Amino acid sequence: MTRLLLKRPTLVAAAAVVAAALVIATPWFVAEGDMRLMIEIFAVFAFAQGWNFLAGYVGIMSFGQQLFIGLGAYCLFLASNWTGLNPFLILPLAFVFSAGFAAMISPFIFRLRDAYLAISIWVIAEIVRSFISQRDWLGSVSGLPLVATREMARSVVATSTFYYAGALALISVFGLYYLSISRLGLALAAVRDNEETASAIGINVWWTRFFGFVLGSGFTGLAGAVYYMSVFHVEPGGAFDPNWMVIMLFIVIIGGVGTIEGPIIGTAIYFLFRAWFAGTGNLYLMMLGAAAVLVMLISPSGIWGIVKSKLGIDLLGARRASGLEASSKKTRTAS
């Protein structure tokens, strides 16, 4: 058992290489239409994983992550349209801008806790949405097109976007894994579980939370930019839509908060649900909500939580819920 544990980071690295190879090979085997769906799946998975990182690893619950989806998309669209630069090259700007915005608001919103913190981010999202809706130079209600991609070949645009989306998905799984076994990941887990103890062992609680929030929100912004790059058009009503939050919550809750594997299952279930019930409109949103309520009543740790406790499988065992597990992980990273 110990030997298996010692080997796990190596196994995960091997899995990461295989997954990356699969992503790289995909455009040769998959039709453009299917690739578009895969971009959407990857982007939504990245949104969900970004929220999961905040809620399950940093311990910050937010009901306003659509704020960063919109900010990332608008940042990319505006920067590309104004300067005429290739959007694929300036994509990191979306991360920098969203992360910077998160850094700017955190001193104020961190004064609130739990649901109040969650809703204050939502309030900020509403402010930004109404601000953009009323400004003509930001495209007002009807939004903005992405000009630069019009002149590019369609297959190049599709393949490049697909690679970015694939990279997001890979980071959401393997990046999160390596982050969670790093020093920062341990500090985040300590702060999430018990702030007093964390600060007693020398962790700066405020800065750790700040860093986690900025990182997670920047990532969501990046994913938002990639998502809207694949649809070529962004408008405030869609980009800052609270329904993004509903989807993220559903995926993470159903799969299991604070696990890496859970949101993978959640994303699969979400897209199956959508394919089956897309025609039913509100009924399908109702089912997402009802499923979230049921999971909270039956098993708050989600489907992956049930699998883990019933079958004892722990693929990317990055969750440090109990003290025992945490100490075994710590020796592992030290060795």
Partner 1 sequence: MIWVETIVNGLLLGGLYALVGLGLGFAFGVMRIVNVAQGDFIVAAAFLGVFLLPWTPVHPLLVIIPVAIAAFGIGMLLQWLLINRVLGHDQIPQILLTFGLAIVLRNGMVELFGANTRSINVGDLRFMGFDFLGLKLGVLPVLILAIAVFLFATLHLWLRKSDMGRLIRATADDHRIVQLCGVNFRSIYAVAMGLAMALSAVAGILLAMRGSFTPYSGADRLLIAFEVVVIGGLGSFWGMFLGGMVLGVAQLVALKLDPASGLMYGHIVFILILIMSPSGLAGAFRR
Q: Which is nearer to partner 1, 88 or 210 (CB)?
A: 210
Q: How far is the CB of 65 from partner 1 (least distance, A)?
A: 13
Q: How far is the CB of 243 from partner 1 (least distance, A)?
A: 9
Q: Which is nearer to partner 1, 105 or 315 (CB)?
A: 105
DSSP 246: H
Task: Report CA 189 to chain centroid distance, whole Å.
Answer: 18
Q: How far is the CB of 232 from partner 1 (least distance, A)?
A: 27
> Token pair for residue 118?
């969650």
> Which residues are at the interface with partner 1 (CB under 8 A)?
55, 61, 63, 108-109, 111-112, 114-116, 118-120, 122-124, 126-127, 130-131, 134, 242, 246, 249, 253, 257, 281-283, 285-286, 288-293, 296-297, 300
Q: Which is nearer to partner 1, 159 or 241 (CB)?
A: 241
| Long-range CB contact pairs, 106-115, < 8 A, 24+ | 106/210, 106/213, 106/214, 110/206, 110/209, 110/210, 114/61, 115/61
Q: Residue 26, class by beta-carbon neighbours within 10 Å (0-12 exposed, 13-18 middle, 19+ buried)? A: middle
Q: How far is the CB of 195 from partner 1 (least distance, A)?
A: 13
Q: Which is nearer to partner 1, 52 or 230 (CB)?
A: 52
Alpha carbon distance 304, 12 (integer Å): 18
Q: How far is the CB of 141 from partner 1 (least distance, A)?
A: 10
> Token pair for residue 167?
């990279």
Residue 302: left if φ>0, alpha if ψ -120 to 50, beta else—which one? left
Q: Which is nearer to partner 1, 92 or 289 (CB)?
A: 289
